Each structure stands twice: as C-alpha cells, then as structure tokens.
Structure 1
Amino acid sequence: MIAANVVAWRRCGTGGQELRPGTKCFKGGAKVYVAGAYWGPGGDRVAVVGRERHTGRWIVIDTATRHLHSFRPKLVHTPRVLERLRETRRHGAGLGADRAAEASAVLERYARQYRAEIAPSRPHPDRCLCHACLTGESGSPVAPSSSW
C-alpha cells in the first residue's frame, strides 16, 4: 500500500492566513495508509486509514491530498488496517511494489501542487509553520513575509 504522513501545520481560512495543526481527524505527523484515490478530478482527495486524533481508533476517511506528505510504498503488517479495508470493501487497495512507487510519486506531486494553490497571491504569515515553509518546498507560492 501507499503510506503518507499528515502535515504538522496547514494553512486555512481567508487568504490562508490561519494555521491549524494536522487535520480535524488526524494529528500532525500521523501515519496513514492510502486506501484509494479519486483520479478523475486530479487526485485531490484520497481515502485513508489511520488512527483518529482523539480516540486512537482506526478509521477510514476521505481527506484532501494537500494535507498529506511523504508518500511512499509500504508493506502493511497491522491487522486492524487490513480489517478496516475489508469492512469498507476496499480490499483491492493493495498494489504491487512498482505500481505503489509510481502512485506515490504522482500523489506527492499532486499534494505539492494543491498546497501551492492555497492563496497563491497572499504572503505567508510571519513565522509561518505551514508544511511548505517548514520543508522549504519548491512549490511554495510566496516566500515568508519576514526573515526568521
């Protein structure tokens, strides 16, 4: 399968000037497994399996690709992940190593593109903690407005 991590901080709100940790369902940095992607509109949403932020239970949820990073092929050993996939009838989510590597690269490219599209004309807030600023991602639309 394809594994990824949830971004530590994400830009949101009007003009992307607000920062929030992780997502509503996952803590920042949480490892999730991609159960399926919606390739029609361009891979902007993926179904993922991961541990829920508040309860720690394994959940399957659709999330935006831009909220994930470090896509990579990973062999799944966790029985609860496989059980969740069977329950949601996504048992075909397993890919071969070559296909998983190709899909990981495509999803990483889409995620960078979608993060760069968040408020492209607005500067990042001072001391921005968004994923693009923390990692120096080349797709960052505008440099931070002040030096650190």
Structure 2
Amino acid sequence: MANVARETARGESGLDIQHGTKHFRAGALLWIPPVRWDPGHGRWHAVGRHRGNGRRYVNMVVRADDLEHFRVKGVYSEALVRSLNGYDHDPAAPRTLQNPWTRERAQDWADARNHFREPVFIEGHPYAHPRISVYNPPPAEIQIDGETLHLAHYGTKGAHYSRMPPPVEWTPEP
C-alpha cells in the first residue's frame, strides 16, 4: 500500500502543483495489487476510497510519481478484498485474495519504491532516462555516455539536465 503524495505535479514541465490527484485526496491510502495487466509506463493499478464518495472502494490507474511512503499492510475488509480481486473474486471465499504475494516479496517491492532516487530528464527528451537516476539532492553535473550534463532545474518530478553549462555570474572588478 502507499499514500497519495501531498503535492503532485501537473501541467507543462510539472509547474502546476496540486494537493492529491483528481480522484484521491492527498494522503489517501491506496492498495496496489499484484499486476494483472500493464497500464503503461509509470502507471499502476490501485484501489482506494474515492475523493467524491469516501465509503466505496474504486479501482483506478494512478501515476507512480503521485504515490509515496510504500509499505506492507494486511487486508481485512471484505469490500477491499473484492476490489483487489476484481473479476477474479470468488464469492464462495469472500475474504481470500487471489494470487497474493508473500510478505517478503511485498516488503522487498515496497523497500525498492522507497529508495530515494530521482528520475533524470535530459533537455530535448520528453521522458525520464530509463537507466539513470540520481540521489536527492542531485549533483550539479553528471556524465552520460562521455557527455557532461549540467543541472538546469530540480523540481517535484525530478532532476532536469541540460547540455548547456549554467550562466556565469558577472562580478564587477573593485
């Protein structure tokens, strides 16, 4: 399970900061079931209580960047089990999860998501570099394929690097 991030980035270059997402409030608990189908790069299937109706569980596809504080927690609600199972739900066993992970596997998965590394965006490319991430805070310069990239912008969506060096500050001579 995870929480919806307090601040989520939207809009061009992630400059529009919002509280929560369209469907879930900031801090809402979302359960992430084992993958049944791939919703796309950087998106996961999740189950949680909707912003508009806090009583019912809904299944949604959410951006992975909008989630934080991953952990393992037991599921005891029959309604939550039904939502996590989806079409595979067996009414004869209403409190049984279909295809559950072991606690160790789930804990390893959650620990990997909590590792504080930021995605790297390179000027001219709309998506994050698939193989490279940097620690938080990001370094001012990185080397990729023999090319030096300079930190241009650091925001909620990650570190943005440019091939252009930062401008040199002019100081008057005494």
Q: TM-score, normalised by structure 2?
A: 0.59
Based on CA coordinates, which of the two structures has the bigger radius of gyration?
Answer: 2
Aligned length: 125
Which residue number in structure 1 is paired with residue 63 of structure 2?
64
Please identify, of 96-105 and 41-50, the stretch whose mean Cα deviation from structure 2 is larger.
Answer: 41-50
Which whole-Å CA distance do the structure 1 matches of 2:86 and 2:37 have between them? 22
The answer to whether the 8 A contact 2:43-2:61 is kept is yes
Cα 1:94/1:38, change in 2 over 3 Å: closer
Structure 1 segments, 4+ long, off by >6 Å, are 38-43
Greater RCO (Cα-Cα under 8 Å, separation 6 or more): 1
Which whole-Å CA distance do the structure 2 matches of 1:45 and 1:82 have between them? 21
5+ long unaligned stretches in structure 1? 125-129, 133-139, 143-148
Cα 1:107/1:92, change in 2 over 3 Å: farther
SS in 2 for 1:83: helix
Which whole-Å CA distance do the structure 2 matches of 1:85 and 1:79 have between them? 10
Please identify, of 43-52 and 64-73, the stretch whose mean Cα deviation from structure 2 is larger.
Answer: 43-52
Q: Which has the higher strand share?
A: 2
Please, what is the CA RMSD of the aligned residues?
A: 3.2
The answer to whether the 8 A contact 1:15-1:122 is kept is no
1:97 aligned onto 2:103: yes
Q: How does 1:80-91 map to 2 (within 5 A)?
A: 80-89=79-88, 91=97
5+ long unaligned stretches in structure 2? 90-96, 122-126, 129-150, 161-174
